[in-house]
Amino acid sequence: MKISVLGCGRWGSFIAWYLTRLGNEVVSWGPEGDPSYEVLKETGRNEYVSLHPKTVLTCDLERAVCTAEVIVISISSQGLRGFMQRIMQYPVSDKVFVLCMKGLETGTGKRLSEILVESGVSPDKIAVWVGPGHIQSFVQGVPNCMVIDSENEGLKVKLVDAFKSDLIRFYYGNDLIGTEIGAAAKNVMGIAAGVLDVVCVPLKGPLMSRGAREVARLIKAMGGNELSAYGLAHLGDYETTLFSRYSHNRMYGEMLAKGERFAKLAEGVATSEAMKLLGEKYGVELPITEAVYTVCYGKGDDAARCKEEIGKLFKRSTKAELCE
Task: Establish how many alpha carbons lie within 13 A of residue 186's alpha carbon, considering only the half-sphere containing its beta carbon.
Answer: 29
- Collect all residues with Cβ–Cβ distance below 8 Å to 158 and sequence separation of at least 6: none
Helix, strand, coil content of the chain in percent (nearest 5): 55, 15, 35
Cα 102 to chain center, whole Å? 2
Q: Tell me how far the alpha carbon of residue 133 is from its chain's centroid.
A: 11
3-state secondary structure of 202: helix
- 95, 110, 186, 276: the catalytic one is 186
Q: Is 186 a catalytic residue?
A: yes
Q: What is the DSSP string of 236-269?
A: GGHIIIII-TT-HHHHHHHHHHTT----S--HHH
Strands 96-99 and 126-130: parallel
Name the residue type at position 5.
V
Report the SS3 class of residue 290: helix
The dihedrals phi and psi of 98, each to the nearest 5 degrees, come to: -120, 120
Q: Report the catalytic residues.
A: 186
